[in-house]
Amino acid sequence: MRIIIDMNNNRQPNNQGGRPQNPIRPPQNGQRPQNPGRPPQNPPRQTPQGARPNPARQTQARPAQAGQRPQQNAPQNPLNRHTPSSRRAEPKRVKLTAEQMEINRTNRQRERYYIKKQRGAALRTFFVRFLVFVVTFILLAILTTALFFLNLTRKDSTDSSRYSYVIGDEKYSLSYTQAVVDGRVYVSFTDVAEMLGLAVTGSPEDIKYVIKSEESETIRFVTDSRTVYVNGVETRLSGESFYSGEDLYVPVDFVSAYFKGLTVTHDERAHKITIEREITNLGENGKVPKGEEAVYGELSFLLQSQAAMGGIDEMDVIEATMPDLGFVTNLGIYEQYMNPGNTTEYLALVNTENRLAANYVPQDLIAVADTRDDGRQTQMMREYAAMALEAMFRELRAAGFEDVSVTSAYRSYSYQESVFTGYVQNEKAARPELTDEEAKARVMEYSQPAGASEHQTGLCADMHSLPSADVAFGDTDAFKWLKANCWKFGFILRFPQNTKEITGISYEPWHYRYVGRYHAQRITEMGITLEEYWDYLKSQQG
């Protein structure tokens, strides 16, 4: 028998297996209390004993009564009361030990440190990138500005820059386009001839200038060409001669190279050319003493007429018997030049310790037949050296080396001075921090100042097959042939490898010096330099 407990705690017997008879239910969830005399509408169903209530069924909306609006999604718990089962369990507070608290504090400090470190690294990265951007922007701005003004400067230098000339007592200037043609600086040979008092004959197309002396040396120009005859010897200019108005213009390097008794100074940076007669009675201060008149040096042309090859004396031919040196071509006519005998005439030692005077000029200079024809003027050497070199080139060509040619030979004192000065200026331009002495020291590793260069002797020549002199020539087969055979023609490799401490000059596989076969053979067999050979000769005399 079931007992139903009402709100008044009254127990009433239940019908066997039946429903309660109109029990009074307390108000549920804010509902109005039911009238005891009125039966409830839609009484709730009793849950069987031991069965759990269906939450889905309990949350279903009650059907709307007549005259009432249906409730949509009416809250089943309008007072928002929490049941014990739905209440969130409050976290239990655990009391930490001092050690655990210290560990937590250390972890928090470490976390803050790494966060700060990451922020610092990010800031540094940003700053570096920003700095690189700013520097790049500034450099680009400077470069753009420099190129802009450089372009303006180039235009200005071509249009308005001028070359100034001092020829004797005459001074004048020419525009850049008049003075420089195809990259070569020109000078009025007409003005030079007037200063020197040269006689003039011929026509504008074929004009000859004569030195008024017992020798009557001559220069003849074929205008509008590179051909010129110096004392009857045909040679070539570095550029074509031409007329502008009534003046004949020739490259200034020709005047500098072929005249003896002239001083030619070319300042490329200042665009100034000075040509004047050499004065032999200058005082220590570089001026003519008071009360004296200037005494000018002898005027002549460096290139002399070449003696005919057929004029060799019969006894000389007998003495110049050709040894069996394995030559491919017939070089009998050159033997006396290749082997002048045991003479020291061609052994001159020239370096920084043994200098030549500024007025030293060989008297037997002739044209070098194998000068490179790339716009440079014909090179010159002393007669014996030039003829021996011609013989060597005949054998060199026969061996199959057609691309080797002479790029430089005799240089005057003034020309070597301008070359050395140009090298010094280039070194200082490339390294502005260098002093004059430091720049000169660097240049002296590959060139010599005026008076210390053996090019002034007329006994040496630079020859190679490259666009310009370079140690790479030492790796070619042509160099190997020259190194093995040059002594047969009276030449030596002047600056071999690993001899800089002795000669003062770095390795130059293109530079060959004429000494005659007798000495060339001994130097080659002994494997020494010309400096060491001189020491050897002195030791033999002592």
Q: DSSP state, 274?
A: E
Quote the DSSP letter at residue 279.
Answer: B
In this prediction, residue 1 carries a pLDDT of 46
Q: Which two tokens stand for residue 172?
A: 């004048």
Torsions phi, psi of 5, nearest 5? Answer: -100, 125
Residue 197: left if φ>0, alpha if ψ -120 to 50, beta else—which one? left
Tell me the C-alpha distance between 367 and 412, whole Å: 15
Helix (H, G, I), strand (E, B) or coil at 509: strand
Provide the token pair at 32: 């109005």
CA distance linking residue 511 with residue 457, whole number of Å: 14
Q: How far is CA 187 from the centre of its chain?
A: 33
Amino acid 238: pLDDT: 85
Per-residue model confidence as pLDDT tens for the chain (542 residues)? 444 445 444 444 544 444 545 555 555 555 555 555 555 555 555 555 555 555 545 544 455 555 555 555 555 555 555 555 555 656 666 677 888 888 888 888 888 888 888 888 888 888 888 889 899 999 988 988 887 776 655 444 444 478 999 998 899 999 988 899 988 899 999 999 999 999 999 888 899 999 887 777 889 999 999 999 988 888 888 889 999 999 999 999 888 888 888 888 888 888 899 999 888 887 777 788 888 888 888 888 877 665 433 333 434 433 445 567 889 999 999 999 999 987 888 999 999 999 998 888 888 899 999 999 888 889 999 999 999 999 999 999 999 999 999 999 999 888 898 889 889 989 998 999 999 999 999 999 888 999 999 999 999 999 999 999 999 999 999 999 999 999 999 999 999 999 999 999 999 999 999 999 999 999 999 999 999 999 998 888 76
Q: What is the pLDDT of residue 257?
A: 81
Q: Which two tokens stand for residue 230?
A: 């110096």
Q: Long-range pairs for 262-269 at CB < 8 Å and ≥24 separation?
A: 262/196, 262/299, 263/414, 264/414, 264/415, 265/414, 265/418, 266/185, 266/418, 268/185, 268/422, 269/425
| Nearest Cα residue to 1 out of 432, 448, 237, 12 | 12
**pLDDT number for residue 116:** 83
Strands of 242-244's sheet, edge to edge? Answer: 180-181, 184-188, 247-251, 242-244
pLDDT reported for residue 146: 81
| DSSP structural state of residue 537 | H
pLDDT at 315 (0 to 100): 43
The string of pLDDT tens digits covering residues 10-64 is: 444 544 444 545 555 555 555 555 555 555 555 555 555 555 555 545 544 455 5
Provide the pLDDT for residue 187: 94
Degrees to nearest 5, angle at CA 106 with 103 and 107 = 85
d(CA 22, CA 8): 15
CB proximity list for 174: less than 8 A, separation 6 or greater: 162, 163, 165
pLDDT at 40: 53
Of 102, 125, 122, 103, nearest to 114 by C-alpha is 122
Q: What is the pLDDT of residue 310?
A: 37
pLDDT of residue 519: 95
Q: Is 242 exposed, middle or buried (0-12, 13-18, 19+ CB in 10 A)?
A: middle
